[in-house]
Amino acid sequence: LSELEALMERMKRLQEDKEDEEASQEEMATRFEKEKKESLLVISGGICAFLVPFSFDDEIVSTDVSRYIEDPGFGYKDFARRGEDHLPTFRAQDYTWENHGFSLVNRLYSDIGHLLDEKFRMVYNLTYNTMATHEDVDTTTLRRALFNYVHCMYGIRYDDYDYGEVNQLLERSLKVYIKTVTCYPERTTKRMYDSYWRQFKHSEKVHVNLLLMEARMQAELLYALRAITRHLT
């Protein structure tokens, strides 16, 4: 099968499996922990050798972004150290954007919550119902996997989501691309962009970038707004 056909087949199989039998809460928690730990091993430009022999190191360009920021040392850091047995988890059900973050940010800055919420929803729901040359395709499962994988990298877990879907829908090169774009955008190369979903249209791959950026922004807001809430109470 081509990359596209294989992906569509996995999406179909996931839907059928979900209808037949849902995973238990314990199993879904285990799958999240596994995915969370593996996401720490994914590095921009490649993946640690014992995971997969995959690397873009020869394509990485050192970009000077210091002129765009006041603190040259400011940058992304993993939410936990590699090798730790008990990695911290942000349970989304305890502090959600819809039930907590939205109302707080509106209190802090009038109406900004509505604008942010509209932006999140628009990007998340954006679809032509196509996958490359295929039409009338429900891409909800794929879009949710992309969004939730970014939150997983930030230690955020949704209790009602089966993270086994992430590994089935997002191939190795796409995970490398996701972490690079999300955490180290200045290191993104055309080769990384070209390496995944080769049969997809550029508009569809640009939509992936929009999803990644909005997922990252929402994750950062959740951490910041939860900290403000704890301070206020």
Over residues 28-43, the pLDDT tens digits come to 999 999 999 888 888 6
Residue 46: phi and psi, rounded to 5, are 170, 180
Q: What is the mean pLDDT of residues 121-150?
A: 95
Of the ranges 49-53, 146-150, 163-167, 185-189, which one carries the lowest mean pLDDT score?
49-53
User: What local confidence, expressed as pLDDT, does residue 56 receive?
Assistant: 39
DSSP codes, the chain: --HHHHHHHHHHHHHHHHHH-PPPHHHHHHHHHHHHHHHHHEETTEE-TTT---B-GGG------GGG-S-TT-----SS-TT-SS---EETTTS-IIIIIHHHHHHHSTTHHHHHHHHHHHHHH---SEETTEES---HHHHHHHHHHHHHHTTEE-TT--THHHHHHS-HHHHHHHHHHHH-GGG--HHHHHHS-TTS-HHHHHHHHHHHHHHHHHHHHHHHHHHHHHHH-
Closest CA to 150 of 201, 104, 208, 203: 208
Residue 119: partners with Cβ closer than 8 Å, 6 or more residues away = 214
Q: What is the mean pLDDT of residues 213-229?
A: 96
User: What local confidence, expressed as pLDDT, does residue 65 receive?
Assistant: 63
By the 8 A CB rule, do 185 and 210 touch? no
Over residues 56-113, the pLDDT tens digits come to 344 444 556 666 667 766 777 776 666 666 778 999 999 999 999 999 999 999 899 9
Look up residue 175 and give its two tokens.
Answer: 């995970």
By the 8 A CB rule, do 149 and 39 touch? yes
Mean pLDDT over all residues of the chain? 86
Does residue 217 surpass a pLDDT of 90?
yes
CA 179/CA 45 separation, integer angstroms: 9
Confidence of residue 173 (pLDDT cuts 50, 70, 90): confident
Residue 135: phi and psi, rounded to 5, are -115, 165
CA 18/CA 15 separation, integer angstroms: 5
Record the pTM.
Answer: 0.86
User: What local confidence, expressed as pLDDT, does residue 161 receive?
Assistant: 94
Residues in the chain: 233
